[in-house]
Structure 1
Amino acid sequence: MNFLRIMELFTKTISVNLLLLFSICFSAISQQKKSLEDSSIPIIEKVYLHTDRSNYAINEDLWYKVYVTYAYSNTILDHSKVLYVELISPDSKVIARNITRLDQGLGNGDFSLSELDGFKAGTYQLRAYTNWTRNFGKDFIFTKEIKVVDLGATVPNKGVGQQPNLATKQKSFASTDKVDLQFFPEGGSLLAGVTSKIAFKSVDQYGNPIEINGNIFDENGNLLTTFSSLHNGMGIFILNELKPQNLFAEFSIKNDTTKIKKALPKVLEEGYLLGINERKGKYYISLKTNKKTFEKNPREQLTLVASTRGITYFEGSQALQSPNLTFVLPAQDFPEGITQITLYDEAMKPHSERLVYIHKEPSAKVTLSIDKTAYTPKQKVNLTVTSKTTEGQIIPASFSLVVKESNGTNKSLLNSNICSYFLMESDIKGKIFNPGNYFDVSNPKRFAQMDLLLLTQGWRDFLWKSIPEPISKEYYKAEKGIIISGKVKRTGKNNRNQYKINMALTKEGDIFMNDVDALPTGDFIFDPINFNGHASLLLNSQNQKKENAGNLELYPICQDTLAIDHIFFSFTTLDEGNLFKQQLIQKNMNYGVSSGNQLDEVVVTSKRNVEEKKPKTNSIGNADIVRVLDDRTPSFRSLLQLIPYAVPGTVQSGKSIRFSRFNDPALILMDGLQIDSDILGDIVPDDVERIEAITGPGGAVYGQQGGNGVIMIFTKPGARNRAFKKKSYTVSQLVQGFYNARKFYAPNYGDPTTLDFNKRDLRNTIFWEPYVHPNENGTAKLSYYNSEASNSINLVLEGITETGQPIVVRKSYEVNQ
C-alpha cells in the first residue's frame, strides 16, 4: 500500500463534529504572534553560497555568490560586512581562505583549484561563516562538499572517508548487522489503547538510505503488520490500539534474505499524543489520549504552541472533553517552512511534539527565457530574467546565474539549492539525502516525502526547538569591515601618559591616514575600513607631547579559522565525481586535446607564482629611488658605507645617514621596522637585497621624522643579521584586506581580435554572473557565447526576493554541430 493511501485511510478516523467544536473553542482562547522586532529575539544570520558547480577538475576555478539572510524571515540581512569562506582539504586542513566583503547581505568570490597551491583529487568542504554566526554554534555555519578530480590519474583518487558504492555496502552490511534502523512514533511515543502512526528510517554507516522490508510482532510473536521502505529508506505503518507490551521488528534488506531484529519503543500506559494530517492544503491537528489517562485527569487543560524558526505564531489552551479532538491549524498565519507543534499538559509539561512543513503558494513568479532551444558551437545565447508577483507587479530580487555543461551530472536537481537550504536543510541538523528532491515541483509526492523526513530525521534533529542563544561568553561581534586594533603599553616613569595612535595604510600609491586616542587601558580600535588585497600598514604611537613613545602591539586583523571536526563522506549511490571525470576525459579525447591545451576560464597567474614575486614587505609610499644590489655593486664593509653610494643625495654623518638637503637624520626602516641608524655599521651588505628611498613629500606618511626622507632596507631571505633594535612605538607590516574577486572570463566570438586560437574552448562552466538584478521593469537581459563543444547545457538561476522567497529556476538546451 503506498504512502498516500495510508494517509488517506488514517485521516478518515477524524470526527467531524468534534473537529468543528474544537476549532471554535481553541481559536477563541488565545492566538498571539511574537513580533520579530522583539528586542529579546537575537539577530541570527543564515549564510548560503550558490556555486557554479559541485564537481571540478584540478586547475579549474570555483565561483560562488553569497546570500546572508535574517534567519526568521529569510529576507536579505545587512548586519555583518565580513564573511570567511574556506576550502577544507580531504586531510582536514584549510587549504584556501577568502575574506569576502558583504554589501547589503550579498557578496561573491572564487577559488583557483590550482595544483601549484596544493589541490589534489578528493572531496573538499566549502565552509562559510561570519564572526557573528560563531555565537550560535556550528549549526549556523554553511557547509557544502565539493569533488575535485584529476584528469591525469588513471585510477580514481577518492577523498578521505569516501565509501564504495551503495550496492557493495548493502551486501556486506547485511551479514554484519550494520544497518541502522530507527522507529519514530508520531508525537514521540507509543500510547496503549491509541491508534499510532510510526515512521522509520534505515541507513548505512555513511547515512545512505537502505531499502528494507519487514514485519512487526508483539511479544508473543503474533504478526501485527508489515512495513516496507517508501522513499530513501523511510516508510510508515499504523498500529491499532496497542497493549502495554514489548514489540519488535524483523526485517531484511531488499533482495537479501538475511533477517535482522530490532525492538520498537516502549508502549506507555498513560499520556497524550499529537498528530497531523494534511488534506487539500489544510492541516488537521489531532490530540489523543487513552481511557485511563482521560478518567484520571478529566477536563485536563492542554496547551498547544506552534512555532516557525523559533517564533510563536499560534498558542492556545483547551480543556480536554473527549479522548480524541481535532482542529484545523490556521496555516494562513504562518510563513512557509518547518513548523514545530508542541502539546503541554496543565502543568506545562511537554507531552508530544510534531513537525510539519507549511507550504505556501509562491507570491513571486520568476522566469528565465532563452531565444532558442538549440544552438551551434560558439553561437551567441540571449536570455531574459523576469521577476514579478503572480499579479504582475515588479518584485525586487537578487539572483545569480550559472550556465554549465551537464558532463554526467544531470542529477543536480536532487542536490542542495537555495530553496532546500533556507526552507529545510538549515533548520535540520546533519546531512539530508537528496535535499533538492523535496523542492522539485515536478515531483508530485514531494510533500508526502517531506512529511516522512520530518517524522524521522527532522523530529530528532530539529534546530529550532528553542531560539538559539549565544553559546560563548566571549560574544563574537558583527564585523563591519577590516578592523585595525591593538594595545599600547606605557613605558618609562610617567605612567599617566595618554597615547594617540597614528595609522597610514597604503595600497598601490593611495594613502589612507587616520588617528585615534587610546583608552586609559591602552586599548585602541580604528573605525572599520574597506580595502581589497594586500596593503602596507604603519602604526605609530605618541604621547601628549607628540613624542614617539609607548610599546605598541597590533591585534590579529583576521579572525582565526574555526576548528575542523568534519569527517568526509558523501551521500551518493553513484560515484558522480568519477562519472564527471570520465565525461571530461572523453570530451578531451573527442577534440584531440590534453587538459593543458584548453582555454582557461579566467586568464590569471596562479596564486603561488604571484606570492613568490611579492617582496617580503612593501614600502609604505612610492619610492623615488630603488637600488637592487647585485654582482655589479661595489664591495663595502658595512651598510653605513653602502647607502651613500646606493642612494644619491645622502651623506654619512657620524653613525647616521641624512639627505644632504636636510640637517636631521633620515628615517631608517629594515624589512618594514624602524631601526636605530647607529647599527648600520654592523650590517653586512651581502645580506641586503635592495634599498629604496623616499626623498620627496611622500615620506610625510611616516610622521614628522619621515619628513627628513625615508630609507628602506630589504634583506635577503635567511639573512644573518637579525639583532637590530626595533622601535617599540612603531608597527609596520603587510596586512590582508578583502579578497579581490575576479570577473568570470568567457570569449567573445563576435570580436575575433580578443580570441586565442592556439587553445580549444572546452569550458565546463560556460557562463557565470553573480549579480543578476532586474531593472525597474522587472527584467534583466544577459548574453554569452557557447563553447566549441557539443553537449547538453544546463542553466540554473538562484536567488531571493525582497520578501524572503528563495527562488530556483532551471532551463536546458542542446548544442550540436
Structure 2
Amino acid sequence: MVGQNIESGFKPEIEKIYLQTDRDVYITGEDIWFRADYYMLGNNTGNDLSKSLYIELITPLGESVARQKYEVINGLATGKYPVPEGLLTATYMLRAYTQFQRNYPQEHFTTNLITIINPSVPLIGYKDQLSWKVKIFHEGNGIVNGEVSGIAIRVHPKIIKNVKRLKLVDQFENDISEIKLFDNGLGYVEFKVIDSLEYSVNTILKNGNSIRQLIPKAKQQLLIEKEIVNSSMNIRLTAPGNSPEGVYTLHMYDGYFTDHLEQKITSNGEWKKIDLDKELLSSRINYLVLRDSEAKVIRVDALYMQPDEPQEIEVKTSEKNYPARSKVDITFIPIEEAYESYSVAVVKKGTFENERLLIPEFIIENPRLLSSYIDHRLITNEVFADQLKAVLLIYESRLESEPSVFQNGFSDESDNYWAPETRGITIRGIVRNLASAQPEPNCDVYIAAIGNEPQLHVYTTNKAGEFIFTLKHLYGIQNLFLCVNSRNESDLEIMINSDFVNDYDAFYATPTILDTSMRHFIEDLYVNAQLKTYASASDSFPVIEKKYKPIRFPESSTSILLDDYIALPTLREVINEIVPYVKVQKKKDEFSLEVFDPVTNQVYGDPLILIDNLPVFNVNQLLEISPELMEKISVINSAYVYGEHLFRGIVFFETNTKNFAGIELPVSSTFLEFQAVEELEQYTNEDHSEQSGRIPDFRNVLYWNPDAEFDTENGKVSFYTSDYEGMYEVIVRGVNRNGEFSLGTTSFTVSEK
C-alpha cells in the first residue's frame, strides 16, 4: 500500500459528498439515477480537489456487489448505477467516497439506503421461535418520580398484526394513556410519574389475550441534566442521595460514532458549560457518553439536535389527473437565488421513502444507520418524530449494554495516505524486492492501456517504492499492462493498491418483511420494469461523444508497411535494411537498437521500444519475432520529453497478432482489468407529442433531471405520462453552495377516467 500517516490537523470534513437518487425502491435489473454534490471545506464552488467519485452497493451482510467510478465536473457527478440481477430482496447501502476520504474512518463516507426487490426470490422471513414479543425501553434505570418520563415500546414485527391496542395503566387498572402503535411496531408515550403509582404497559391481542409489563422506577441514580444553548451545552451531574461526589469522563459522539470531545466532570450538582464543535452542532444525532473512573460506560443519552430543516418547496401540477401519454407541466418556486441547481424526479408513488413516515426495522436494529437515514428528511411530522424518540430510547438501552461501538467505530484505512485524485482516476502501488521484501526506489514503472484507447505512462518510484498514474479519457473496463525497466526486474514484484475499499461492516441481520398490502405495488413495479426492458432498448444516451486519446507522442519521422517490401527472413535484417534511422547493434551476446537524428547528427542508444503499445526492454527477444507477424514499423528519431522522462528516440512495432507476436514478457510484469470511470449518460425522457408507432411505454420513472437550472422566478419542467395508470410523485430537491437543502413534493394520477 502507498503509505504514510496522514498529518494530524486534517479535518474529516475537508471533503463531503451529498448523494441523491431518483427514488428509494428498485427492482433488480433497473438503473439507479443519481446526483452527487461535492463539497470541499463546506462549500461547493466547482474548485474540486478530487475529480473522481467511487460508489459501491453494499449488502446488509457487508458484501460489495457493485462498484462504479464517475467523474466529478465542477462539483457535480451524475449518471446511472445499474442494479445487478439476482440480488435478494433487502435494504442495501449505496456508499460514495473519494480516494482522499479513505484517509479517514468510513463513517465519513456518504451512505444512502435503498430497498431492492427481487420478486422471483421468496423472502426468508422469521423461521425460529420468537425470543420476545414486546419490549419496553426507558431512560437510565427507570422512570423518575415527579418527572415527565418517556417510554418506548417495541412489538415484534411478526405479531404486529395480532395487536389490538396498547395502553398505559396503573396498578389499579386505571387507564393512564392510549399508546399509538405504528405499523413498524414502535410506540411512544410521555407521562408525569406519580410517587404512589406503579405503571405497566398492557398489550391487548386480537384473540383476547394480553401481555402486561411493569415499567421499573429508578432507584437512586446519578442525575444528569443538560440543555443546548446556541453553540454550547450546559450540563450538571448530581450524585444520588448522600453518595460522595464522583469524577467522570464525558464524551460526545456524533451520529457516526466519531468522538468529538472528552472532558472530566464532577457530580457536585454544579452547572458546567461545554463548547460544541461545528460537526456536533450540524449532526442531527449525537450521543452523550459518561464513563466512570475505570472507563466503563455507565450512561448513554441519545440526543436529537434539531437543525434547520430543509426548506420546503411549493410544487404544483396544472391538473391532478392526466390521461396516458399526455403532457404534464410542473411549476415550483425556487427558495432563493442561493439554490442554483435542482434535481427533479417523477416516480411511481411509493418508491420515495420520505412519504412513508415509518422508520424501517433495520434502522431500529442498527444505530449506525440512523444518521444517514434521516439526513435531509423533513421531520416536522409528529408521527415520524414520535418514532424517532422511541428509536433513541432503544439505542440508549442497547448502547449501554453493548458499548463496543464507542471503542471500535467503523473500519478505516488511516494507516496509509491516499492522495486526492486532482487530475482524474488513478492507479497506484509499490515495487518491492522479492528477496529483501523492501521497497525498490528509483525504479521506472511503465503502464500501457491496450485497445482502442491506447495510453502509455512512466513513473519513477519514490524512496518508498511507490508509484501513481493518472488515467484520463478512459471509460469502462480497460486492459492494462504494467512492467518495470530494471536489470534485476526478475527479482522485483509490482503490488497494486485496491482502488475500492475492501473492508465492509455488516449493518443489519434481521430479515426483510414487506407488508402484504405492498404485494400489488411490487407486482406493478416488476411488470413495468419487465415491459420497459422488452419494449425499449435503452433509457439513456451518452451526453458527450467519446474522444479517444492516443499516446501523446508526436508524428512519426517515418513509417514503413512491411507488405510493401520483399520479405526478409529475420527482424534484424528488416530493421537494418528497410527501416530508416534505426540500426541493430551487438555487444557480446546482447543486442540493442540505435536511432540516428540527421538534423543534429546524434545517435541515440536505448530508445523506447513499443510493440502494440507494450514497452519492450529485451531486444534479443524482440529480434526473435518472425517478420511475418509484423505489420508496420514507425520511428521518432529525435529526443522526446515525456513528463519527467526523456526518451532518446522511439521505435513502434505494430503486429498483425492479438498476443503481441508471442514475445516473452518480463517476469515482474502483470496484466489487469481496470475499472475506469463510467461514461456520462443522461436519462431519456419520452416524448409522446407525435403518436407515430405504438411502442408500449411502462416506466417506473417518468422524468429525471439531476441538474435543472432556472433563470426565472418560477421553475418549470414538462414531460409525458406513460401507458401505466396509477399515482406518481414529483420530487424537487435543491442544494446550494453551502450544502443547505430544500425539498418539495406533489402527486398526480394517470387515468383515463
TM-score using structure 2 length: 0.68
In the alignment, the residues of structure 2 paired with residue 253 and residue 465 of structure 1 have an alpha-carbon distance, to the nearest angstrom, of: 38
Contact residue 552 and residue 731 of structure 1 kept, 8 A = no
What's 2:81 paired with?
A: 111
User: Residues 65 and 482 (structure 1 numbering): CA distance in 2 closer, same or farther, change over 3 Å?
Assistant: same
Q: Tell me how large the CA RMSD over aligned residues is.
A: 6.2
Q: Any idea what SS the aligned residue of 1:532 has? A: coil
The answer on 1:379 being equivalent to 2:326 is: yes
In the alignment, the residues of structure 2 paired with residue 434 and residue 797 of structure 1 have an alpha-carbon distance, to the nearest angstrom, of: 19
Within-5 A mapping of 1:152-163: 157-159=121-123, 161=124, 163=125
The answer on 1:713 being equivalent to 2:713 is: no
In the alignment, the residues of structure 2 paired with residue 470 and residue 543 of structure 1 have an alpha-carbon distance, to the nearest angstrom, of: 38
User: Residues 562 and 471 (structure 1 numbering): CA distance in 2 closer, same or farther, change over 3 Å?
Assistant: closer
Following superposition, the deviation at residue 429 of structure 1 comes to 2.1
What's 2:536 paired with?
A: 599
Pick the aligned partner of 1:52 from 22, 43, 53.
22
Pick the aligned partner of 1:661 from 579, 603, 622.
579
The answer on 1:558 being equivalent to 2:499 is: yes
Following superposition, the deviation at residue 765 of structure 1 comes to 0.9
What's 1:736 paired with?
A: 675
Within-5 A mapping of 1:189-200: 189-190=141-142, 195=147, 197-200=149-152
What's 1:612 paired with?
A: none
The answer on 1:451 being equivalent to 2:389 is: yes
In the alignment, the residues of structure 1 paired with residue 620 and residue 151 of structure 2 have an alpha-carbon distance, to the nearest angstrom, of: 81
User: Residues 208 and 74 (structure 1 numbering): CA distance in 2 closer, same or farther, change over 3 Å?
Assistant: farther
In the alignment, the residues of structure 2 paired with residue 85 and residue 602 of structure 1 have an alpha-carbon distance, to the nearest angstrom, of: 21
In the alignment, the residues of structure 2 paired with residue 669 and residue 761 of structure 1 have an alpha-carbon distance, to the nearest angstrom, of: 50
Q: Any idea what SS the aligned residue of 2:681 has? A: coil
What's 2:111 paired with?
A: 142
Contact residue 499 and residue 517 of structure 1 kept, 8 A = yes
Following superposition, the deviation at residue 326 of structure 1 comes to 14
User: Residues 78 and 347 (structure 1 numbering): CA distance in 2 closer, same or farther, change over 3 Å?
Assistant: farther
Following superposition, the deviation at residue 795 of structure 1 comes to 0.9
Q: Any idea what SS the aligned residue of 1:50 has? A: strand
Within-5 A mapping of 1:446-595: 446-457=384-395, 460=398, 471=412, 474-475=415-416, 477=418, 479-480=420-421, 481-488=424-431, 498-501=442-445, 508=452, 511=455, 515-526=458-469, 531-535=474-478, 537=480, 541-542=484-485, 551=492, 553=494, 555-556=496-497, 558-559=499-500, 561-563=502-504, 565=506, 572=513, 574-575=515-516, 578-584=519-525
In the alignment, the residues of structure 1 paired with residue 430 and residue 716 of structure 2 have an alpha-carbon distance, to the nearest angstrom, of: 52
User: Residues 734 and 60 (structure 1 numbering): CA distance in 2 closer, same or farther, change over 3 Å?
Assistant: closer
Q: CA deviation digits over 1:631-655, x for unaligned, max 9?
A: xxxxxxxxxxxxx999554844546
In the alignment, the residues of structure 2 paired with residue 303 and residue 101 of structure 1 have an alpha-carbon distance, to the nearest angstrom, of: 45
In the alignment, the residues of structure 2 paired with residue 749 and residue 675 of structure 1 have an alpha-carbon distance, to the nearest angstrom, of: 61
What's 2:743 paired with?
A: 808
The answer on 1:771 being equivalent to 2:707 is: yes
In the alignment, the residues of structure 2 paired with residue 585 and residue 496 of structure 1 have an alpha-carbon distance, to the nearest angstrom, of: 55
In the alignment, the residues of structure 1 paired with residue 189 and residue 235 of structure 2 have an alpha-carbon distance, to the nearest angstrom, of: 18
In the alignment, the residues of structure 2 paired with residue 138 and residue 496 of structure 1 have an alpha-carbon distance, to the nearest angstrom, of: 34
What's 2:664 paired with?
A: 725
User: Residues 802 and 140 (structure 1 numbering): CA distance in 2 closer, same or farther, change over 3 Å?
Assistant: same
In the alignment, the residues of structure 2 paired with residue 497 and residue 240 of structure 1 have an alpha-carbon distance, to the nearest angstrom, of: 72
Q: Any idea what SS the aligned residue of 2:515 has? A: coil
What's 2:602 paired with?
A: none
In the alignment, the residues of structure 1 paired with residue 667 and residue 524 of structure 2 have an alpha-carbon distance, to the nearest angstrom, of: 60
What's 1:786 paired with?
A: 721
Pick the aligned partner of 2:187 from 234, 244, 260.
234
Following superposition, the deviation at residue 386 of structure 1 comes to 4.0
Task: Report the AA paired with residue 772 of structure 1.
Answer: A
Following superposition, the deviation at residue 602 of structure 1 comes to 1.8
What's 2:697 paired with?
A: 761
Segments of structure 1 that go 5 or more residues without pairing to the other structure are 1-37, 151-155, 606-617, 625-643
What's 1:33 paired with?
A: none
Contact residue 62 and residue 504 of structure 2 kept, 8 A = no
More moved, 396-405 vs 141-150 = 141-150
Q: CA deviation digits over 1:262-301, x for unaligned, max 9?
A: 67668433421437899xx9x99997969xx355569x99
Task: Report the AA paired with residue 747 of structure 1.
Answer: E
Pick the aligned partner of 1:102 from 72, 75, 86.
72
TM-score using structure 1 length: 0.64
Task: Report the AA paired with residue 558 of structure 1.
Answer: D
Following superposition, the deviation at residue 435 of structure 1 comes to 6.1
Q: CA deviation digits over 1:711-736, x for unaligned, max 9?
A: 363149xxxx98x6313586666533
Contact residue 334 and residue 358 of structure 1 kept, 8 A = yes
Contact residue 369 and residue 384 of structure 1 kept, 8 A = yes
What's 1:414 paired with?
A: 356
Task: Report the AA paired with residue 477 of structure 1.
Answer: W
In the alignment, the residues of structure 1 paired with residue 148 and residue 541 of structure 2 have an alpha-carbon distance, to the nearest angstrom, of: 62
Within-5 A mapping of 1:664-703: 664=583, 669=611, 674=616, 693=632, 695=634
Q: Any idea what SS the aligned residue of 1:580 has? A: helix
Segments of structure 2 that go 5 or more residues without pairing to the other structure are 1-7, 543-548, 585-592, 594-608
User: Residues 550 and 413 (structure 1 numbering): CA distance in 2 closer, same or farther, change over 3 Å?
Assistant: same
Within-5 A mapping of 1:257-296: 257-260=208-211, 267-274=218-225, 293=240
User: Residues 651 and 384 (structure 1 numbering): CA distance in 2 closer, same or farther, change over 3 Å?
Assistant: farther
In the alignment, the residues of structure 2 paired with residue 500 and residue 586 of structure 1 have an alpha-carbon distance, to the nearest angstrom, of: 56
Contact residue 136 and residue 469 of structure 1 kept, 8 A = yes
What's 1:27 paired with?
A: none
Contact residue 345 and residue 704 of structure 2 kept, 8 A = yes
In the alignment, the residues of structure 2 paired with residue 458 and residue 105 of structure 1 have an alpha-carbon distance, to the nearest angstrom, of: 38
Task: Report the AA paired with residue 664 of structure 2.
Answer: K
Contact residue 798 and residue 809 of structure 1 kept, 8 A = yes
Higher strand fraction (1 or 2): 2
What's 2:344 paired with?
A: 401
What's 2:606 paired with?
A: none
Q: Any idea what SS the aligned residue of 1:579 has? A: helix
User: Residues 318 and 86 (structure 1 numbering): CA distance in 2 closer, same or farther, change over 3 Å?
Assistant: closer
Q: Any idea what SS the aligned residue of 2:426 has? A: coil
In the alignment, the residues of structure 2 paired with residue 235 and residue 226 of structure 1 have an alpha-carbon distance, to the nearest angstrom, of: 13
Following superposition, the deviation at residue 810 of structure 1 comes to 0.6
Higher helix fraction (1 or 2): 1
Within-5 A mapping of 1:231-380: 231-232=181-182, 233-236=186-189, 238=191, 240=193, 251-252=202-203, 254-260=205-211, 267-274=218-225, 293=240, 320=269, 337-338=284-285, 340=287, 354-359=301-306, 364=311, 366-380=313-327
Within-5 A mapping of 1:586-665: 597-602=534-539, 649=565, 651-654=567-570, 658=574, 660-662=578-580, 663-664=582-583
Contact residue 483 and residue 670 of structure 2 kept, 8 A = yes
In the alignment, the residues of structure 2 paired with residue 142 and residue 434 of structure 1 have an alpha-carbon distance, to the nearest angstrom, of: 8
In the alignment, the residues of structure 1 paired with residue 622 and residue 563 of structure 2 have an alpha-carbon distance, to the nearest angstrom, of: 14
In the alignment, the residues of structure 1 paired with residue 688 and residue 306 of structure 2 have an alpha-carbon distance, to the nearest angstrom, of: 45
The answer on 1:202 being equivalent to 2:166 is: no
